[in-house]
Chains A and B, each alone.
Chain A
Amino acid sequence: NAGVTQTPKFQVLKTGQSMTLQCAQDMNHNSMYWYRQDPGMGLRLIYYSASEGTTDKGEVPNGYNVSRLNKREFSLRLESAAPSQTSVYFCATAELGGGNTIYFGEGSWLTVV
C-alpha cells in the first residue's frame, strides 16, 4: 500500500520554466491537497480538491494551478517558476468528514534558480 505518492522527489528549475508536480493516492480518499513548507512559515495550503471535479484556492495560490485528473490524481503546475517558489511541496489526502485527519506524501523538493 503506497498511500500518497509524489513525483518528482527533487527538481531544480530555472526562473521562468514550467513544471508539474504529480500526486497519486491509493487510499480511496475524496479530498486532496497541496501544501508548501518553508522555514519559519510552517505548512501552508496552496490548493485543495474536496472531491473529484472540484478545486479551490487555499492560502497561497498565486503562481500555481491544479488539476484533479480523477479521484486518485491531483497535480500542481508552476507555469513560470520564480525563486520565491523554492520550497518543499507536500500532497495530502483526507476522508470527507474525517475530522481533517490528513495523510501526507513524502514531499517534493523544488529549487528555482
Chain B
Amino acid sequence: QKEVEQDPGPLSVPEGAIVSLNCTYSNSAFQYFMWYRQYSRKGPELLMYTYSSGNKEDGRFTAQVDKSSKYISLFIRDSQPSDSATYLCAMSEGGGATNKLIFGTGTLLAVQP
C-alpha cells in the first residue's frame, strides 16, 4: 500500500462547477500538506500549503486537512478551463529540507467550457 493515495481520474466537470480533489494517507506523522498543479509538459507549481489540520483559503481554492481521518482535500470554486491540469497532493513529516516530500500520483482534471 502506498503512503499517499490519490484517485488518478480523469475528472471532467463543466465550467463553473465546484471541484473536489482528495488524497488519503497512512503515515500519522505527516504534518505538512501541499497541493501542486501541473500543466501538461510543465513542472509542478505550488498551489496551496497547509500545516497540521484545518482549512486554508486562497481565492477560488480551499485546502482542508483532517488528520484524524488522514484525509486532505482541495476545493476549486467556479472552475475555469484554465484550471484543467493534473493536481498532485504532497506531504511530509517535518519542515526541513531533509524531510522528504511524499507525492500522490495526481488527479487529471478537465474543465469543459
Q: Is the interface of A mostly helix, strand, loop or mixed?
A: loop
B49 CB contact (under 8 Å) in A92, A97, A99: A99
Is A34 part of the binding interface, using a Cβ–Cβ cutoff of 8 Å? no
A102 CB contact (under 8 Å) in B51, B101, B105: B101
Contact A100 B95 (CB under 8 A): yes
Interface residues on B, range: 20 to 34
Is B98 part of the binding interface, using a Cβ–Cβ cutoff of 8 Å? yes
Contact A107 B43 (CB under 8 A): yes
Contact A100 B51 (CB under 8 A): no
How many Å lie between the Cα of A96 and that of B96 in the bound state?
6
Residues of B within 8 A of A (CB): 4, 6, 8, 32, 34, 36, 41-46, 49, 51, 88, 90, 92, 94-101, 103-106
Question: What is the 8 Å Cβ interface bit string for chain A, positions 27-51, against chain B (1 contact, 0 not)?
Answer: 0001100000000111111001011
Is A103 part of the binding interface, using a Cβ–Cβ cutoff of 8 Å? yes
How many Å lie between the Cα of A45 and that of B95 in the bound state?
16
Q: Which residue of A lies closest to B95 (CB)?
A: A99
The interface on chain A, measured as residues whose beta carbon lies within 8 A of the other chain's beta carbons, has a size of: 31
Contact B100 A90 (CB under 8 A): no
Which A residues, 69 to 101, have Cβ-Cβ distances below 8 Å to chain B? 90, 92, 94-101
Most buried by A among B8, B43, B99: B43
Contact A42 B46 (CB under 8 A): no
Is A58 part of the binding interface, using a Cβ–Cβ cutoff of 8 Å? yes
